[in-house]
Amino acid sequence: MIQTSAKKIVIIGGGFAGMNLAHQLNNADEFQIILVDKNNYNFFPPLIYQVATGYLETSNISYPFRKLFSEQENATFRMGEVVRVLADKNQVELTTGILDYDILVFATGTETNYFGMENVKQNSVPMKTVEDALFMRNTLLERLEKASRETDPAVRKKLLTIVVAGGGPTGVEISGMFAEMKKLVIPKDYPELIGSNGEIYLVDGLKAVLTPMSEKSQQYTYNTLTKMGVKIKLDHMVKDYTNDVVSFANGETIEAKTLIWAAGVTAIVFEGIPADSYGRGKRMLVDAHNKVVGTENIYAIGDTCLQTTDAAFPQGHPQVAQVAIQQGKLLGKNLKNMLTGKTLNAFTYNDKGSMAIIGRNKAVADLPSPKLHFDGFLAWVAWLFIHLLSLITNRNRFKTLYNWTVAYFTKDQSLRIIVKPGRESFDNS
């Protein structure tokens, strides 16, 4: 039972950071938790691209917040988005009302960064949310259908050409998935498209793919994608995308009906948080305990914060899931310590390594201690195992494992269905 004297903690965002904080305070009667999110479900971002390409269902990687909190008596959920913070009143205004708080925690993650290119923003397909994934799946399937009816070879090629911008894990993984679909799926589902010469491009403004990973991982990924038929263009910075033409800063162009944007993210600025509390990438500056600089009782964890107190990461931590998970757990422990007068622990990131899947039986992994690189089938199995365990419920794990098993043995999946809402909901407030 929630005590009326309990400290009220409002958590904005139900991703890795927010959920781990909430679970760390599970059934601690001294805290009353209200988790706020614009969606009514938690989802697993690393597998978004598999929903987009029809290999997983939305329900495989998502789960309702209210169901997740049904056994956590000190936690409730509020659907809404932040309008402004009223710090002097210890209140946060949402699109769905005003909440009082004793402690406010931002765990809002990031949003897609288009670097000021309005045409790219308007015309490309982002890869950040479940809605993005469903939009991308519908768009790709519709263009395959249109290409199957098209009689002009040049128009058909443009419909089938895909440019993926961004050489990080998301760009690599989705390029590899497209390459496998082109080889294994399209000839069976769309025999009329055989020999249509649509291309898959992976482009990035840097000089390597997977730049945070080791040179061995970068080289293996480059060679593997190239063998799979992906055309990789490095040191190619996208400048514009209009009239189905991707333009680069070096003057080159690619004609393509589809530009998938996985090239960058940025944090979100909130009204009511002091301007000097933000740093690089619009991330909130925090101290060693994740308290936002210039505030008394506001914290930030995960991708939305910039913490420079960790000696091993003086420029801030990478915006990856493990940082968010570890910060969420530590903040929960520190909040308990604050109530009992115990010493607070400074955050130090335990880097557990990096992984990226490229395709069937193909992946790369780097472990920091001991410094170790491995690739191929072993890395692929490790990637599957770790991502399966990282899903939030056993239900998600079993359904995902089933779909992966079917896809592996059949080299196909039956989830390529175009589903669009016929109308908006009655209440959009």
So what's the pLDDT on residue 1? 39
Residue 238 CB neighbours (<10 A):
24
Q: Is 173 a catalytic residue?
A: yes
So what's the pLDDT on residue 297? 96
**Spatial separation of the C-alpha atoms in residues 413 and 265, rounded to whole Å:** 30
So what's the pLDDT on residue 422? 64
Q: What is the pLDDT of residues 154-173, one digit of tens each?
A: 999 999 999 999 999 999 99
Predicted confidence band of residue 2 (pLDDT cuts 50, 70, 90): very low
Tokens of 55: 């290999």
So what's the pLDDT on residue 401? 92
Tell whether the model's pLDDT for residue 271 goes beyond 80: yes
Q: HSE on the CB side for 29, CA within 13 Å?
A: 5
Tell whether the model's pLDDT for residue 231 goes beyond 50: yes
pLDDT (mean) for 266-290: 97
So what's the pLDDT on residue 419? 77
Q: What is the pLDDT of residues 24-77, one digit of tens each?
A: 999 889 999 999 999 999 999 999 999 998 889 999 999 999 999 998 999 999
Give yes or no for a contact between 38 and 81, defined as CB atoms under 8 angstroms apart. Answer: yes
Tell whether the model's pLDDT for residue 338 goes beyond 90: yes
pLDDT (mean) for 197-220: 96
Residues in the chain: 429
Give 284's contacts (C-beta < 8 A, 6+ positions apart): 106, 267, 273, 277, 278, 292, 293, 300, 304, 305, 306
So what's the pLDDT on residue 3? 47
Predicted confidence band of residue 255 (pLDDT cuts 50, 70, 90): very high
Give yes or no for a contact between 336 and 329, defined as CB atoms under 8 angstroms apart. Answer: no
| Cα three-residue angle 124-186-405, rounded to 5 degrees | 95
Phi then psi for residue 33, to 5 deg, are -110, 130
pTM as predicted: 0.92
Residue 372 CB neighbours (<10 A):
11
So what's the pLDDT on residue 420? 75
Tell whether the model's pLDDT for residue 262 goes beyond 50: yes
Q: What percent of the chain has pLDDT over 70?
A: 97
Tell whether the model's pLDDT for residue 232 goes beyond 80: yes
So what's the pLDDT on residue 423? 59
Catalytic residue among 173, 180, 192, 424: 173
Q: Mean pLDDT, the chain, as a whole number?
A: 93
Tell whether the model's pLDDT for residue 333 goes beyond 90: yes
pLDDT (mean) for 385-400: 92
So what's the pLDDT on residue 415? 74
Phi then psi for residue 310, to 5 deg, are -80, 115
What separation in angstroms does the CA of 423 have from each of 219, 322, 417, 420, 427? 47, 38, 18, 9, 11
Q: Domains (ranges, CATH) in the chain?
A: 7-38+80-110+267-340 (3.50.50.60), 118-265+353-410 (3.50.50.100)
**Least confident interval from 104-118, 186-200, 307-321, 330-344:** 186-200
